Amino acid sequence: MNVSAQAPMEQRYFRISLHAIPPNVPIPCDAYIVVAGKLTLLRRTGETFTAERLRKLNRHEVQEFYAPIEQRPVFKEFLWKLLLDPTVPAERRAESVIEGTYLQAEEIDEQGPAFGAGITEMMKMLQKFGPNFVRAMNLGTLVSRIAGKGATRCHGVQTALYAMLLAAKAFPEQADLVWQVGIAGMLHDMGEKQLDARLVDNQQSMNGEDWQAYKAHPGHSVDVLSGVDSIPVEVKRAILEHHEHFDGTGFPKRLRGEEISPLARILALCDTLDKLMTGKGGGSSLPPDEALLMMQTIRPERFDPRLLSLFAAELRSAGRSARPGAGTQPELT
Ligand SMILES: [Fe+2]
Ligand SMILES: [Fe+2]
């Protein structure tokens, strides 16, 4: 990415969603936005945004800021404070869960072989704050937002967040499923790192041999996580079964119907939606309504029918399908 004179060339940056910034609260880091391909400083640490200014930026399709990477710990602390403050509205705390999940996923990715500590921290966060998140956020709103320009950041996190919201609606009496499916969603494709990048980035032209290699990735994911004792067996099972199909045509074991764990049946829906929306695997990226229509019309029998109709109802219940598109140039005020 090009940087302006205000953004030092040697600097690394992390992303912050606009939705994670509360209005009229001093920000804990410098906030840059991309203007004409260059990073430009918009607010310094300690300055504030009014609600109107945040709305204006959103209207101009500025959906994220960049901040210097060394300010990430202080920004994470800022999010935790919001999460723990009972005077902060539930919707605002739900935004902090979303942002905290993205940031934690980035850290796990950077931790290399020592990723176990990051996963344990993530589990604690989802256990503690997942209930507020599923009460205060709905699937339609979240999906519309993530489908917006520039908001797509991480397939694992998006799959996890959708899955938590669906699990809360599908199994309201089993509260633990929410954080368990969240962790499973985050980690389900970790095994893809062991595949040739060509198989992950472009599945449009795979031959039989390629497919055999690709079908091993759920097992690779579980193997990679075998040393992390804090991950429950239900989570590992969901990861292993996330490509099983309700009609018995999936992989790796060709399980059928309720032989597949409920968590894996939820993941299958959310994983597919995110892949279609983001173009993961080399397809074109679709708006949420088109992605859902495809899931409902092209071999819908691969999904649990009860979960598919609940998923469709939740997606349509709120929010409008945001379509990616070119934004206008924001004003730097
Ligand atoms: Fe997968
Ligand atoms: Fe996936």
Q: For position 64, what pLDDT does the model report? A: 86
Fold of 89-317: Hypothetical protein af1432 (1.10.3210)
Domain range list for the chain: 1-74, 89-317
Which ligand lies nearest to the CA atom of residue 243 in the structure? 1
The string of pLDDT tens digits covering residues 26-48 is 999 999 998 888 889 999 999 99
Rounded mean pLDDT of the chain? 88
Nearest residue to 143 (alpha-carbon basis) of 272, 14, 46, 242: 272
Prediction pTM value: 0.89
Whole-number Å distance, alpha carbon 235 to ligand 1 midpoint, is: 14
Whole-number Å distance, alpha carbon 271 to ligand 2 midpoint, is: 5
The string of pLDDT tens digits covering residues 47-88 is 999 999 999 988 877 888 999 999 999 999 999 899 889 899
Q: For position 149, what pLDDT does the model report? A: 53
- Surrounding ion ligand 1 within 5 Å at CB are 189
Q: Which pLDDT band holds residue 330 (cuts at 50, 70, 90)? A: very low
Whole-number Å distance, alpha carbon 26 to ligand 1 midpoint, is: 40
Q: Which pLDDT band holds residue 321 (cuts at 50, 70, 90)? A: very low
The string of pLDDT tens digits covering residues 160-182 is 999 999 999 999 999 999 999 99
Does the pLDDT value for residue 9 go beyond 70? no
Buried b (16+ CB within 10 A) or exposed e, 163-193: bbbbbbbbbeeeeebbbbbbbbbbbbbbbbe
The string of pLDDT tens digits covering residues 264-279 is 999 999 999 999 999 8
